[in-house]
Amino acid sequence: MLFNLLVVSTAVLLNSKAARAQDRMTPCQVVSSQSADFITMYPTASAALVEAQPMADCLKSVPVWEDSAALIDEMQYFIQWQSNLAWIKNPPADYTGNKTDVQQKIKDIASNLKNYEDEYTLQQDLSLAIAEAYDFHFEWTPDILNLFRFRRGNIGMGLLDEFAIVSVSEDGKALPKLYNFCKRLDVLYCNLSKTNTLSRRHYDPKGRFAAIAHHRN
């Protein structure tokens, strides 16, 4: 049975015995075990919170579907109905998006099919190739991307990972900045650049959010 899991980076806290047992499990077995643990802790929950890493490993353990080539061929029939493909391939100077050749990107993926090691990465690349058209009427969401949802933070659930990202203007006029919504020493907003582990690892939060927005719009 597949669960619709709501995923966070650190959610269900496991004792050492359970952690050792998980070392002998496949990633999907770890996800199933953590999901069961969460539902036991919160019987009324409609979705389970599990760790993101085993969930990602579980997705990447799915082998490439033997009929993936046929799937891509069928997608071409769907894609050719999009009326602005030539326009976004060579857009005018005032076009706000990036030019993209959707059909060529799909063909490149098809020609590189033998080099894909898992179905998740393949379907994600296909989905992003279409998403770069920036058209809400032109969308393809593969089934494997609907199995789980990622999120950061678990505010109010009491699972000791009180971290969530918010965008706040200091005075209502200045451009908003990224903050960690947390409560530390009675400070409601902890500056993301000081407290976020991503920044400490020389990770650019603004750049990452820009990249997410680029692929989501």
Tally the domains of the chain: 3
Distance, in Å, from the CA atom of 115 to the CA atom of 192, rounded to the nearest integer, reads: 38
Average of pLDDT values for 187-216? Answer: 52
Beta bridge partners of 165: 180
- Considering 62, 82, 101, which residue would you say is the last residue of a domain? 62
Q: Is the pTM of this model over 0.85?
A: no
Distance, in Å, from the CA atom of 204 to the CA atom of 207, rounded to the nearest integer, reads: 5
Q: Cα–Cα distances in Å, from 34 out to 54, 151, 187? A: 10, 16, 32
Ramachandran angles phi, psi of 79, nearest 5°: -65, -35
Q: Cα–Cα distances in Å, from 64 out to 59, 115, 119? A: 11, 10, 4
Distance, in Å, from the CA atom of 93 to the CA atom of 162, rounded to the nearest integer, reads: 45
The answer to whether the beta carbons of residues 96 and 123 sit under 8 Å apart is no
Per-residue pLDDT band for 7 (boundaries 50, 70, 90) equals very low
Per DSSP, the three-state class of 182 is: strand
The answer to whether the beta carbons of residues 55 and 12 sit under 8 Å apart is no
As a residue count, the chain comes to 217
Q: Pick the residue with more confidence: 151 or 8?
A: 151
pLDDT in tens, 21-60: 556 789 999 999 989 998 898 888 888 888 888 999 999 9
Distance, in Å, from the CA atom of 97 to the CA atom of 87, rounded to the nearest integer, reads: 12
- Considering 47, 62, 77, which residue would you say is the last residue of a domain? 62
Q: Is 151 contained in some domain?
A: no
Q: Is 158 contained in some domain?
A: no
- Tell me: do 74 and 20 sit in the same domain: no
Q: What is the pLDDT of residue 213?
A: 62
Distance, in Å, from the CA atom of 24 to the CA atom of 29, rounded to the nearest integer, reads: 9
Q: Is 153 contained in some domain?
A: no
Residue 190, domain extent: 165-216
